[in-house]
Structure 1
Amino acid sequence: MKNLKKQPKNRVLDWSAEFETLAKISVNPLLRKFYQAGAVSALAPIESVQLLAMDVETTGLDSQSHSIVSIGVMPFTLNRICCGNSLYWVIKPSSELNEKSVTFHHITHAEILDAPVFAQVLDPLLEAMAGRVIVVHYRNIERAFLDQAVRRYLGEGLKFPVIDTMQLEAHFHRQKISWFGRLIGRKQQSIRLADSRSRLNLPAYHAHHALTDALATAELLQAQIATHYSPLTPVGELWN
């Protein structure tokens, strides 16, 4: 039996109403079209929702001074991952590559030489996102970097609903450690993507490739719902 009592008690956000408002006040036609596509009802069961797993690789962790270097998106539902409809872009960043970030994502100066800038991939990216709930592992990266990138090119930010698989994992596997627990060396369980997948018996993938991580995140959410929730769980209880 699913442990439904442990579901996170989030304040349910009405993204459908939020999108209606944003569609009216957005100046740029790309953003207006995106918001006009609407958002699903917070009451919709997660099994009925069209999802889009997303991962971005960046030149650093500060969305104000660093920028996106690759994006991977993977459409899916609870029952199927649509690998054939996935999208992946290497992007010429607006900030310099540095050695530390290159060791993570392995995207080199040669690869970004003829890569498109973010503005050139924004239209197909928004088209892929339209009408779907975005799924990421640690929303502070994807949401913050996309918002800043859109602001740089369009002068307006980007808002969208997100299911954060890291947040879901933290709810089930992060507990406050007592002083005695710290004294004897007890540590918090890791909620990194690879470790979260391992707990649910999902295969190990090579990390820090945007498309592979998007696939890994899609599989993780499917496993989390199957293990901890019901397919009838309202999406509003899971998103931010």
Structure 2
Amino acid sequence: MLSRLSLRLRVLLFFALLALGGMLIMNAALVVGFRSALSDGISNGFITAGLLAGFGFLGLVTGIWLLFDENVAKPIQALATTLRARAHAGAGEVDTHGARYLGDLASAAESISSTLDSSRSAMSQKVADETEVIREELAQMSDVLRDLPTGLLVVGDDDRIVLYNSEAAACLSQIAPMRLNAAMSDYFDAETWRVSKARAANGALLSGITLNRQDGAKISNVSVQKRRSETGYLICLEPASAKPKAATVANLTYDFQLLSDRTSDKLHNRRLDQTPFVVFDCETTGLLPHKDEILQLGAVRVFRNQIIYGEEIDQLANPGRPIPAASTRIHHITDAMVTDAPPPKTLVTKFHHFARDSVIVAHNAPFDMAFMHRHGNEMQIDWPHPILDTVLLSAVLFGTSEKHTLDALCERLGVTIPPHRRHTALGDALATAEVLCRMLPMLSARGCHTLSDLLSQTRKHGRLLNDMN
């Protein structure tokens, strides 16, 4: 019956109930106080009446607040969250039943969401048509690069990688994980690279150069080219020890906007669209970081609110001990699967380099980072990276009363985890990364434009992690 009343009338009923209840409580308190005054004296009568009225008002206000919170405040908060998710992540359904006492607000919100979805679909189709043209051009470029035996790099004037193909990735990943926006000093001796770059900047095409790491590892023969009108350098890599290869399409990974980006050196001050994130997850022998061990590590990179597919870690580790059957039932990793795998310290070192100059993100990050810190302390590896936790980001967006499990977040934001990928390190890392990509625009809309803004908001909900761990 109440659901048929207008929202203004329902709010009026709340205040009417407050006024009527207050009058009844006051009258009852006066009657009891009067009787007490006749038998125990006037002062006792006033005290009794005051106490009864005070506690009565307190109970009345508490009861009405509970009704208001359950039927008005919570539905409004849920509706706002859903609208934000629909606007920025294209996910979420308006709970018309939960908002049944909000008049036509829920139906109006659903109407707006449907209209937005229709507009988004039309725009997506138009973008898809334009993208198809670009995709065809990229396919033609890939055909040209198909039989090229060299690796290609484009490096900006700030010495960071803007473009690379699969040949370059195969060559440089022998030294360190390949990463878009990585510094050249991660792969080459800094002084040799500086000299080569200076000579190329003068218009010379340098070829047949052998660049070595400071540790003496020979990488490749390199040609460096730069025209005076160009921004950045074109680099060709030829493996120092040629090996026969199967013909493959040289896939390109690139972001030419990096050539014009002017970013702050400090991650905390960068805009979120200029902040690199590394999202990771670990599968372990158990739930005690101080005594259990890493079995599998999965990690992906996120930049400009997109997952950079191909830049990832997906590797098993040999814990040096039997894997408990209870753990195997969850992640399906057996002793036989890790027999030839490297020790956990190797994965930790690899991940440390993979996450260089990035923000580390995980779901319930204290658990996974506890393993990183434990091995890092043993190997004297520091973890100065800023840490973001998607549990806390969820609390900022959806409130502490909602569920913040990875499954709940995926359902809320329309992220699908294939059943065979759930509870695998890379599968969970990819799901967490997709959740992050959907939450970042929502957080920006709430005024969180930099990493510093995000961290200041998540600190308010730190107790959630304490409860989980």
TM-score (norm 1): 0.72
Rounded to whole Å, the distance in 1 between the matches of 2:301 and 2:443 is 22
RMSD between aligned residues: 2.7
Between 100-109 and 225-234, the greater mean CA deviation after superposition: 225-234
SS in 1 for 2:340: coil
SS in 2 for 1:55: strand
For 2:411, give the aligned amino acid: S
What are the Cα deviations for residues 26-56 of structure 1, in whole angstroms up to 9, with x where unaligned? xxxxxxxxxx98x733121111111111111
Match of 1:197 among 401, 405, 410: 410
Question: Hey, what does 1:70 align to over in structure 2?
Answer: 296
Rounded to whole Å, the distance in 1 between the matches of 2:418 and 2:405 is 13
Match of 1:234 among 442, 445, 450: 450
Question: Hey, what does 2:393 align to over in structure 1?
Answer: 168
Q: Which sections of structure 1, spanning at least 5 residues, go unmatched?
A: 4-35, 176-187
Runs of 4 or more, structure 1, over 4 Å off, are: none
Rounded to whole Å, the distance in 1 between the matches of 2:318 and 2:266 is 33
Partners of 2:362 and 2:389 within 8 A in 1? yes
How far apart are residue 87 of structure 1 and its match? 1.2
Q: Which sections of structure 2, spanning at least 5 residues, go unmatched?
A: 1-79, 85-184, 187-264, 460-469
> Once the two structures are aligned, what percentage of the paired residues are identical?
24
Asked if residue 114 in structure 1 is aligned to residue 114 in structure 2, the reply is no
For 1:234, give the aligned amino acid: T
SS in 1 for 2:268: coil
What are the Cα deviations for residues 175-217 of structure 1, in whole angstroms up to 9, with x where unaligned? 4xxxxxxxxxxxx532111110111122233321111111111
Question: Hey, what does 2:319 align to over in structure 1?
Answer: 93
Rounded to whole Å, the distance in 2 between the matches of 1:167 and 1:232 is 14
Between 86-95 and 139-148, the greater mean CA deviation after superposition: 86-95
Rounded to whole Å, the distance in 2 between the matches of 1:135 and 1:160 is 10
Q: Is the alpha carbon distance of 1:225 and 1:196 closer, same or farther for their aligned partners in structure 2, counting shifts above 3 Å?
A: same
Rounded to whole Å, the distance in 2 between the matches of 1:44 and 1:127 is 21
Question: Hey, what does 2:430 align to over in structure 1?
Answer: 215
Between 95-104 and 60-69, the greater mean CA deviation after superposition: 95-104
Q: Is the alpha carbon distance of 1:125 and 1:146 closer, same or farther for their aligned partners in structure 2, counting shifts above 3 Å?
A: same
Partners of 1:66 and 1:95 within 8 A in 2? no
Q: Is the alpha carbon distance of 1:94 and 1:160 closer, same or farther for their aligned partners in structure 2, counting shifts above 3 Å?
A: farther
Between 230-239 and 140-149, the greater mean CA deviation after superposition: 230-239
SS in 1 for 2:361: strand
Rounded to whole Å, the distance in 2 between the matches of 1:120 and 1:156 is 12
Match of 2:277 among 44, 51, 55: 51
Determine which structure has more spread, i.e. the larger CA radius of gyration. Answer: 2
Question: Hey, what does 2:249 align to over in structure 1?
Answer: none
Greater relative contact order (Cα 8 A, min sep 6): structure 1 or 2? Answer: 1
What are the Cα deviations for residues 110-129 of structure 1, in whole angstroms up to 9, with x where unaligned? 01111100233344322211
SS in 2 for 1:42: helix
Structure richer in helix, relative to its length: 2
Rounded to whole Å, the distance in 2 between the matches of 1:174 and 1:205 is 27
Aligned length: 195
TM-score (norm 2): 0.38
How far apart are residue 160 of structure 1 and its match? 2.5
For 1:44, give the aligned amino acid: R
